[in-house]
Structure 1
Amino acid sequence: MSPGQVRGALGASGLIPGGTGARGYAVVDVEATGSSSRRHRVVELAVVLLDPALRTQGEFSTLVDPEGPVGPTHIHGIEAADLLAAPRFGQIAPRLLGLLRGRVLAGHNVGCDRAFLAAEYGRLGVTLPAVPEVCTMRLAERRLARTGGLSLRACAEAAGLPGWESHTALGDARTTARLLARCLPEGAAGAVEEAAAIEWPVLPCPAPAPARWVGRDALPRAVEGNDQGRRMVSYAGNGGA
């Protein structure tokens, strides 16, 4: 779907109002082909939906065809052959907007994840709205004692959370959701209500039918012991270098 096709399909305003029923948090994690949201692409993403009480409502994940090199396989464990059936970002963009709409955006170093999503939507001619965000990395820094670092693994260990399939978008998003439940302070309802009222773009589903999201269930796990490289990707600033 080209930017022109997207803009044409959106109509006059291209927005739908908030308050359509979604409330809570969208915990996101992306794996990318590199550290720069301007130069690199999303190769896998996951969303864990939480209600305002931080109870899990649903989980969604897919590999994404970056339409180019897959980047650091030694970090994310994804090879080009794994993406033969994966959708392009434009094919999942409408459904992903529906998952994010009306919710507080959450992530571990959430600004990095948002930067990649904003860049991908920008390539389609769509601007993501400014929504309330919550960063578990910053929450853990303030609320957990002696984390031993700010990586997701270090923060999860400090919070007493069990192990998970790290270096995968869904594994990291699930752990981030658990860390959010452990660290989010009382009185966050205001952000939830604010997020629910924000107008979002609406995108048509790609013809002839929505693309199938393709998980990595059958793929080999990412190489263990690559935390240094993982930090380089995950903790790049907004937009990367």
Structure 2
Amino acid sequence: MKKFFTVIGGMGSLATESYVHLLNEKTPTKKDQDYLDYILVNHSTVPDRTAHILDHSKPSFLPPLAEDIKQQSLLKPEFMVIICNTAHYYYKELQAVTDIPIIHMPHMAISMIGKKYPKAKRVGLIATKGTIADHVYENEIKDAGYEYSLGDQSVQDEVESLIYDDIKIKGAVNAPKFHHILQTMHDKFDCDVIVLGCTELSLAQEKAPDHPYEVIDSQEVIVDKSIEFGEKIRRGEKIDFNKIY
């Protein structure tokens, strides 16, 4: 197979399944051959990202992801995407092990705020404790010039419960809980736009989109970019990945 890309997923598997579903659903097709060519690595045994970020004595997720990227690089994909926001904690280290471009999901997500919601001034971020602690999204939001809020401990507890108790453990989206989190970020913390900085939250958005709040779904953004870049490489167009950031 030539002119394909690689998806590094499995963190978690339901979120990766959501990415693949959205990718196939949003790709313009009329026949089987119109779908994109890609390889999916569903590495579900990668150690917990948040646990390691909060306590470096816990097993690191860097070595297994670096090994995945080295293996996939031998197949020469055109680019790679990592379907886990928290894993971008080691983005620089992971990109350093390969010459294949790795698309930076948090950067892509924040770059869409101005395009999708040009009047937005105050951005809310909901994500795992690990993503909050690593400041990847926070720095992107600040660099883009927005005011922002991370909510409070009550919001964080509710977010963690939705991600871990409901989606990762039970395999189900608690729609009322998801909607309440968005409502709190909008009403209590005056957020014009709420960034879903975790792929499990993206799954919640896919399954429970019936709410009035403006969101930036990081997974939907990376799906759109995967399609954009995938179709360009299929047409033989050259992409200068250094300029997309």
TM range (shorter): 0.3 to 0.5
TM-score by length of 1: 0.34
More helix by share: 2
Q: Provide the TM-score with structure 2 as the length reference.
A: 0.34
